[in-house]
Chain A
Amino acid sequence: MRRDIRQALQLNESVLLNGKPVFSNNGIVGQRSQAVFQNSAFAWRSGITIPNLREKFPDNSLVNEVEDIFASVTKARHVHLKLESLRGDNAVEPTPSVGDGSQLAAVVTRWILEFPETYAKYNDFIARCLPEMKRVLIRSSQSGQVRLVFEQKDGERFDATQVSDGVMFFAGLIAHALEAPSRSLVMLEEPERGIHPRRLAELIDLLRTLVHEQQTQFVLATHSPVLLNLFRDEREAVLVFRRGPKGTVVQRLADMPELADTLDRADPGELLANGVFNESITAE
């Protein structure tokens, strides 16, 4: 089926979604590296249809294939946390969502009250990845709003305005991962932000645990060599976004034979840090 798409596209019939090329014979194409990450998935969710595709490619199998590809992202959540939102006070709501972090405290409050197992898991993750921390608590203000409080193993407590950026980002990321329904797709932008490189391995291991237990799928966009190296034995899971004159081309690291020998001698993180991927783009 995928080959059908390729054959069709080799006729230079670009597949357009919302007026933008989405597939070319090189793979997925967007105007910017985030195009696939944001525009395609979220424009699709916002109501793009594919009538043009049906006209251009009467073969239903092709359309079905495109729909299959996008079906997994229609319910995806795109995680882009904002520090100021994470640190803020929240009103208690019946069904809060972490979002950009602005309802994190409300979400944790709900877990404490209604979903103690999720709350226990959240604290377990926090304690595993932030060894100085014991658990996350909630402090309510006189105005009825709630704020996160982090309790260290020594008993000392710090509220959300006092802990480091890394702790706040991590607390938000883990909440998103736990909040995601089973079998959903979660897109994390630069999960390394503010997190000590040494802790990234633990973060990825937590995500692997959720993949295993809940069949949650994670897509991580990263510029971190340390994080990338954690996938050095899963080259097929690494997509390299390469910006070229015709837009951004996405290729699996496993499908880049020109780099196979180099990858045998260096970790993918080294290639990222030293511009080897960029050079491959220029060469194209």
Chain B
Amino acid sequence: MTLTVAIASEFDPYDGEIYRYLLETVLRVTVVKWTGTFMFSGYRTVAKFAPAFLTAAAGHNIQHAILAVDNDGGARRRPEHAENHEPTVFALDDDDVCRECWLTQALPITWGASGGRSCVVVPVQVIETWLLAIRGDELIPTAEQKYNRSAIKKEFFGRQIPPLAQRIALAMHELQKPNALTILGERPSFNRFVNRLRSWE
């Protein structure tokens, strides 16, 4: 079975590919990523263009979508999502709020009303945190790491960010480890992602 999923992520060639792979692993189906002609650059564009993106996806008869941004925050700012968060209306430039709630409200009502299924993903702090966890790195971030996304990325990639193909290869090296999903299961942000995906089944 093949599932086409519209994936809106901060940097599609890299993040999008990781999410596509994770979808395949969790759902156990072949997943084809669709982004159309959209180009996302940073977390804000994902929320900003979500309505147009999902409308375009629906136009291609795509019924499944992932919206993914990094949390990039910590205790003082951008708190991690909790199930008891009240549905709130956030402005697009609200910056110190729960990013899962913030991104969820960017989903257009028409998408769900027409049968579209969606999943909001917000790795805490960034997607490389998940990869570092699989690699076995100590995950008690310093204050700087907690608020500085580039510090976490460098911890995973090294000082110089490598070319895209190598970044994907490094990520896949971790994600394809036999115990990857077990380790990721200890990350609450990953668990929320998986639970939402399971509701698609």
Are A229 and B150 in touch, CB under 8 angstroms? no
Given known A-B contacts A205-B163, A205-B164, A209-B163, A229 and B41 have beta carbons under 8 A apart: yes
Residues of A within 8 A of B (CB): 197-198, 201, 205-206, 208-209, 211-212, 226, 229, 232-235, 264-265, 267, 269
Complex-state Cα separation, A267 to B41, whole angstroms: 9
Query: Given contacts A198-B39, A229-B42, is CB(A264)–CB(B147) below 8 Å?
Result: yes
Docked-complex contact A212 and B163, CB < 8 angstroms: yes
B153 lies within 8 A of chain A by Cβ: yes
- Chain B contact residues, CB within 8 Å of chain A: 11, 13, 37, 39, 41-42, 44, 72, 77, 95, 147, 149-150, 153-154, 160-166
Assess whether B39 is in contact with A208, with CB atoms less than 8 Å apart: no
Q: Residue among A197, A205, A267 with the most chain B CB within 10 A? A: A205
The answer to whether A201 touches B13, judged by C-beta atoms less than 8 angstroms apart, is: yes
User: Would you mind naming 16 contact pairs between A and B with Cβ atoms under 8 Å apart?
Assistant: A197-B39, A198-B39, A206-B163, A208-B161, A208-B162, A208-B163, A209-B163, A209-B165, A211-B163, A226-B41, A232-B42, A233-B150, A233-B161, A235-B150, A264-B72, A267-B41
Given A201-B13, A232-B42, A235-B150, are A212 and B95 neighbors across the interface (CB < 8 Å)? no
Give A212 to B166 CA distance when docked, in angstroms: 10
* Minimum CB–CB distance for B76 against chain A, Å: 11
Known: A226-B41, A233-B149. 15 other contacts (CB 8 A): A197-B39, A201-B11, A201-B13, A205-B163, A205-B164, A206-B163, A208-B161, A208-B163, A229-B41, A232-B150, A233-B150, A234-B161, A264-B72, A264-B147, A267-B44
A234 to B154, CA, bound (A): 9
Closest chain B residue, CB of each to CB of A235: B150
Q: Which of B147, B149, B153, B162 contacts A212 (CB 8 A)?
A: B162
Closest beta carbon of chain A to B46's beta carbon, Å: 12
- Which partner residue on chain A sits nearest B41 by CB separation? A229
Closest Cβ of chain A to B81, distance in Å, is 19
Given the complex, which residues of A lie within 8 Å of B150, measured CB to CB?
A: 232-235
Shortest distance from the beta carbon of A205 to any chain B beta carbon, whole Å: 5
**A201 to B13, alpha carbons, bound, how many Å?**
9
Residues of A within 8 A of B72 (CB): 264
Nearest Cβ distance between residue A166 and chain B, in whole angstroms? 16
> Which B residues lie within 8 Å of A205 (CB)?
13, 163-164
Q: How far is the CB of A125 from chain B (nearest CB, A)?
A: 12
Q: Are B42 and A265 in contact (CB under 8 A)?
A: no
Give A211's nearest chain B residue, CB to CB.
Answer: B160
A269 to B163, CA, bound (A): 21
CA distance A267 to B161 in the complex (A): 17
A259 and B55 CA atoms in complex are apart in Å by 37
Task: Check B95–A265 contact: CB distance below 8 A.
Answer: yes
Give bound CA distance, A235 to B154, whole Å: 12
Q: Which residue of A lies closest to B93 (CB)?
A: A265
Q: In the bound complex, how far is the Cα of B153 from the Cα of A205, in angstroms?
A: 17
What is the CB-to-nearest-CB distance from B171 to chain A, in angstroms, rounded to a whole number? 15
B11 / chain A contacts, CB cutoff of 8 Å: 201
